Amino acid sequence: MWEELLQDLLEGHTKSLARAISLVENEVPGYEWLLQQLPANTHAKLTGITGSPGAGKSTLVDALIGEIVAQNQKVAVLCVDPSSPFNLGALLGDRIRMSEWYNHPSVFIRSLATRGSLGGLHPRIVEIADLVKAAGFDQVIIETVGVGQSEIEIAGLADTTVVVVVPEAGDEVQTMKAGLMEIADIFVVNKADRPDADSFVKNLRLMLAPAFHRTTHEIAIVKTVASNKEGVGELFQQIRKHQQLVQTHDKRYWLLAEKAYHLIQQRRMKDVDKSVLKQQLEKADDTNLYQFIKQYLPDNK
C-alpha cells in the first residue's frame, strides 16, 4: 500500500496527497516510512501568511492563488484553523472565499485544525508541508490562525513570512513590535483604500527602521486591497524576490534546524497523551502539578 501511495504522491495525484495527509495526521502505522522516502525538495517554496483575525488573510490568499495560477505555477494552500481544546475539531472549517479554486487542477487546498496545539499550528504541519512539496507544487502557502504564538511558530517553518495588518491596527502594531516585527519578511497593509492608510504605512516604516540595521534585506511593505485584487501582483513579486534571497542565505539552514528540532521534540513527546494526563489529574485532584510531572521527566528529576 505504502509503495503505491508514494509513487502516486510523487506523480502529483491529488487524491493520493489528500490520503497521505490523512494517514500522517492520524499516525497510521507505516507513515514514518513514507516520510523517510520523500525526496529533499528545494524547488517548492513555503510562504506563511499570518496576522490578526479580520485582517483579510483568506481574501488575500484567494487573490494570491489567482496570481500564482496566472503565472502557470501550481500552488497548495494549507489553512490552519483554530480548534476546540475539548474535542480538537476545527471551528472555522469553511473556506468559502477560496471555493472557486477547489476543483482547479493547479490548486490544492486543505483545512487543518490546530488540534489543541499551544503554538497555534497543526502538530504535523512540518510533515504535511513536506508531503505537499513532494507532490510537485511550486508554491506552498500556510495561512495561520493569527492568534497566540502561531505567528512566531510560522517563522520557524516558512521560507517567507508575510504579516497582514490593516490601517486601523496602529495601537496593535505598537504592542506587537517584540513579536511580529522580528519575524516578518514582508508586511502587507490590506484594505489600503481605507482612510489614513498612507499615514499608517509611513508610521510602520518608521517603526521598522531599527530592524533594517539587524537584517540583510529591507523588509518590504506592500499595500493591497485584496477584495479588488489590487497590489497582489506586487506582493507576489516581493515574495519571489525574498525566496531567491533565502535560497542563498543562512536563514535556510536555521529553518532546517528549526524543523529538525520540532520533529525531534515531537518524537520524544510521543508517549505523552493529553487525555491520559487529564484522567490522571482527575484521580489525583488538587495535586501539586510540579510533583505530578516528575514521573515524565528523565530520571524523575
User: Same domain, yes or no, for 212 and 288?
Assistant: no
User: Same domain, yes or no, for 249 and 181?
Assistant: yes
User: Same domain, yes or no, for 127 and 52?
Assistant: yes
User: Same domain, yes or no, for 252 and 297?
Assistant: no
Cα 239–Cα 79–Cα 175 angle in degrees, nearest 5 = 70
Counting every residue written for the chain, the total comes to 301
User: Grid coordinates representing 210?
Assistant: 531599527
User: Same domain, yes or no, for 246 and 154?
Assistant: yes
User: Same domain, yes or no, for 101 and 15?
Assistant: no
Question: Rounded to an integer, what is the distance from CA 9 to the centroid of its chain?
Answer: 21
Bridge-based pairing of strands 186-189 and 75-81 is: unpaired
Alpha helices in 111-166 (DSSP H): 125-134, 150-155
Note whether 33 and 158 are within 8 A (CB): no
| pLDDT in the model for residue 42 | 65
User: Same domain, yes or no, for 189 and 225?
Assistant: yes
| pLDDT in the model for residue 289 | 78
| pLDDT in the model for residue 183 | 77
| pLDDT in the model for residue 196 | 86
What DSSP letter does each residue of 262-282 carry, written as one string? HHHHHHHTTT--HHHHHHHHH
The span from the CA of 92 to the CA of 29, in Å, is 29
Residue 293: domain span: 272-301
| pLDDT in the model for residue 118 | 45
pLDDT tens for each residue of the chain, 301 residues long: 899 999 999 999 999 999 999 999 888 999 999 999 998 766 889 999 988 778 899 899 999 999 999 999 999 999 887 654 444 444 444 455 666 788 899 999 998 876 555 445 677 888 899 999 999 999 999 998 765 455 567 777 888 999 998 987 666 666 555 556 677 899 999 999 998 899 989 888 888 776 555 556 688 999 999 999 999 999 999 999 998 887 656 666 777 787 788 788 888 887 888 888 888 888 877 778 778 888 888 775 5
The span from the CA of 227 to the CA of 62, in Å, is 9
Instruction: Supply the CATH number for residue 112's domain.
Output: 3.40.50.300
Backbone torsions φ then ψ of 30, nearest 5 degrees: 110, -10
| pLDDT in the model for residue 236 | 97
**Exposed/middle/buried for 158, CB within 10 Å: 0-12, 13-18, 19+?**
buried
- The structural domain count of the chain equals 3
The span from the CA of 283 to the CA of 138, in Å, is 51
Bridge-based pairing of strands 107-113 and 139-143 is: unpaired
Helix (H, G, I), strand (E, B) or coil at 164: strand
User: Same domain, yes or no, for 16 and 152?
Assistant: no
The span from the CA of 9 to the CA of 19, in Å, is 9
| pLDDT in the model for residue 117 | 52
User: Same domain, yes or no, for 184 and 81?
Assistant: yes
User: Same domain, yes or no, for 144 and 278?
Assistant: no
User: Same domain, yes or no, for 206 and 129?
Assistant: yes
User: Same domain, yes or no, for 83 and 196?
Assistant: yes
| pLDDT in the model for residue 188 | 95
